């Protein structure tokens, strides 16, 4: 017994703010509805990601949510509602959605449900962002997405991202602010546990059962980029969200890889299942 599910979260549009889910189906591609859309630069063909803050941190000012039906008739069943900080709403099905997003981001972009061939994004070197700031032109690595999951998705690496309350609590203890905001780390499944902080480090290559049916296999510790340091909606910028991990949990994401600041783990799905808050989480 590792703990229980404290929260479920999904992010209908990659790099936008997400939503809490009361219950959800998890398939081989992850939590249904998670990262089903992404913004793609028409100039470079790359996926727009806040991992390159200088260009794309504006995505984190927007909230994305999936509605089963629109009360005002503005969207079809299952469309994604994108909300601006001032409350303006644009639907993923609106004819002008690309123009509106391009205006906000200052770059010509397209909102799409289909990953381009060889889908990749730019990941700014986290230490360089900490050193030089979010506006600086810092070195970036080209990162092909979905290497640990089925093709055709927009997940960074694997279908599911797990994070414990113990890790969040340990980050808060080590932070000068005395807090850790789970929104900054963008997990799918938040697990309530009393184990010591950074306990997920010990889950590598283990199978984990969640609820009655779901079984996942942990394939990597989650290396952290600059995203946790950025403003997330009303949450202000917080470089300590990454600095704490750099100082206190720089570990190998997987065997034989160079150490990186990590929090949480990535997992592939061995057996699909339905999950809800309160479900038990155990080593399978």
- Please tell me the pTM assigned to this model: 0.94
State the average pLDDT for the chain.
94
pLDDT at 150: 83
- CATH code, 189: 2.40.33.20
pLDDT at 48: 98
Rounded Cα distance, 195 and 74, in Å: 46
pLDDT at 133: 95
pLDDT surpasses 50 at 70: no
- What residue numbers bound the domain in which 251 lies? 3-283
When pLDDT is averaged across residues 6-14 and rounded to a whole number, the result is 97
Confidence of residue 75 (pLDDT cuts 50, 70, 90): very low
> Among 26, 35, 4, which residue's Cα sits nearest to residue 194?
4
The answer to whether the Cα torsion of 62, 63, 68, 73 is positive or negative is negative
Decide if 103 contacts 30 (C-beta within 8 A).
Answer: no
pLDDT at 76: 41
pLDDT at 68: 58
How far lies 259's CA from each of 12, 142, 169, 248, in Å? 30, 19, 22, 12
Confidence of residue 278 (pLDDT cuts 50, 70, 90): very high
Per-residue pLDDT reduced to its tens digit, 182-241: 999 999 999 999 999 999 999 999 999 999 999 999 999 999 999 999 999 999 999 999
Q: Give the E-state strand segments of 32-145 in sequence order.
A: 38-41, 63-66, 80-83, 89-91, 109-112, 120-124, 140-144
Number of domains the chain is built from: 1
- What is the number of alpha carbons within 13 Å of residue 78 lying toward its C-beta? 6
pLDDT surpasses 60 at 103: yes
pLDDT surpasses 90 at 16: yes
Rounded Cα distance, 71 and 74, in Å: 8
Query: How do strand 160-164 and strand 260-271 relate by DSSP bridges?
Result: antiparallel
pLDDT surpasses 90 at 21: yes
Per-residue pLDDT reduced to its tens digit, 169-179: 999 999 999 99
Rounded Cα distance, 128 and 125, in Å: 5
Joined together, the tokens standing for residue 58 give 């504006």
When pLDDT is averaged across residues 24-46 and rounded to a whole number, the result is 96
Rounded Cα distance, 37 and 23, in Å: 20
pLDDT surpasses 70 at 139: yes
pLDDT surpasses 70 at 164: yes
pLDDT at 146: 85
């Amino acid at each position: 017994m590792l703990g229980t599910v404290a929260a479920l979260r999904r992010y209908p549009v990659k790099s936008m703010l997400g939503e809490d889910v009361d219950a959800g189906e998890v398939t081989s591609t992850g939590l249904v509805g998670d990262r089903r859309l992404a913004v793609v630069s028409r100039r470079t063909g790359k996926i727009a990601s806040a991992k390159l803050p200088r260009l794309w941190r504006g995505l984190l000012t927007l909230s994305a949510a999936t509605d089963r039906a629109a009360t005002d008739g503005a969207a079809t069943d299952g469309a994604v509602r994108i909300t601006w900080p001032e409350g303006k709403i644009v639907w993923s099905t609106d004819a002008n959605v690309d123009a509106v997003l391009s205006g906000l981001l200052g770059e010509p972009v397209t909102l799409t449900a289909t990953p381009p061939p060889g889908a990749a994004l730019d990941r700014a070197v986290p230490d360089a962002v900490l050193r030089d700031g979010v506006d600086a032109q810092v070195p970036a690595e080209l990162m092909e997405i979905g290497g640990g999951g089925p093709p055709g998705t927009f997940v960074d690496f694997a279908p599911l991202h797990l994070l414990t309350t113990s890790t969040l609590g340990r980050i808060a203890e080590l932070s000068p602010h005395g807090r850790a905001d789970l929104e900054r780390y963008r997990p799918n499944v938040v697990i309530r546990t009393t184990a010591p902080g950074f306990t997920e480090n010990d889950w590598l290559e283990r199978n984990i059962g969640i609820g009655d049916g779901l079984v996942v296999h942990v394939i990597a510790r989650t290396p952290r980029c600059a995203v946790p340091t950025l403003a997330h909606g009303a949450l202000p910028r917080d470089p300590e969200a990454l600095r704490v991990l750099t100082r206190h949990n720089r570990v190998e994401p997987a065997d034989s890889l160079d150490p990186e600041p990590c929090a949480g783990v990535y997992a592939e799905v061995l057996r699909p299942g339905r999950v809800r808050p309160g479900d038990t989480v155990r080593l399978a």
